[in-house]
Amino acid sequence: MKLLMLAIGVISAVPWTRAAMSEAQMKAALKLVRNTCQPKSKATSEQIEAMKQGDWNQDRNGQCYLNCILTMYKLQKKDNTFDWESGLKVLENQAPPSIATTAIASVLNCKESVKTIDDKCAAAYEIAHCIYDDNPEKYFLP
């Protein structure tokens, strides 16, 4: 009984904090997602880099790459809408401090960005494009 009370005391004394990813962990996670989604969508490296540079003239492969990413991060619902509430939770709990504040603002500003609800790839494109346009310098999708 004394051991149980000691264990409860130690556990309650330990502060419970959220553990944000480090920059290195974030880069590794983004690389993993990109390496998974790029072959699935058949998007080229040039297309992906073009989006990061603000060139959003994308074909179906580029749009479906974004759908894969948003699906993996659970940011796009089955009805193709933006699951921005889930995005906020992930960013609040896991994003490195260097991107958390701006990324949260972009997610909130893009809550209603989906206009093409009947096409999952086009919807993902609209979400990602909005996030980019909201703050190009802090665009965080891989």
Q: Above 50 in pLDDT, residue 63?
A: yes
pLDDT digits (tens, 9 = 90+) for 4-22: 333 333 333 334 344 677 7
The verdict on residue 69 lying in a domain is: yes
Alpha carbon distances (Å) from 33 to 22, 65, 75, 122? 17, 10, 13, 19
**Could you list the residue range(s) of the whole structural domain that residue 30 is in?**
22-138
Cβ atoms of residues 122 and 85 within 8 Å: no
Alpha carbon distances (Å) from 87 to 11, 54, 63, 69, 100? 30, 22, 19, 12, 11
**Alpha helices (H) in 53-119, listed in sequence order:** 60-72, 84-94, 97-109
CATH of the domain at 102: 1.10.238.20
Q: What type of residue sits at position 11?
A: I
Q: In the chain, how many domains are there?
A: 1
Give the largest CA-CA distance in the chain: 67
pLDDT band at 61 (very low <50, low <70, confident <90, very high): very high
pLDDT band at 24 (very low <50, low <70, confident <90, very high): confident
pLDDT digits (tens, 9 = 90+) for 75-125: 999 999 999 999 899 888 888 888 889 999 999 999 999 999 999 999 999
The verdict on residue 74 lying in a domain is: yes
pTM: 0.81
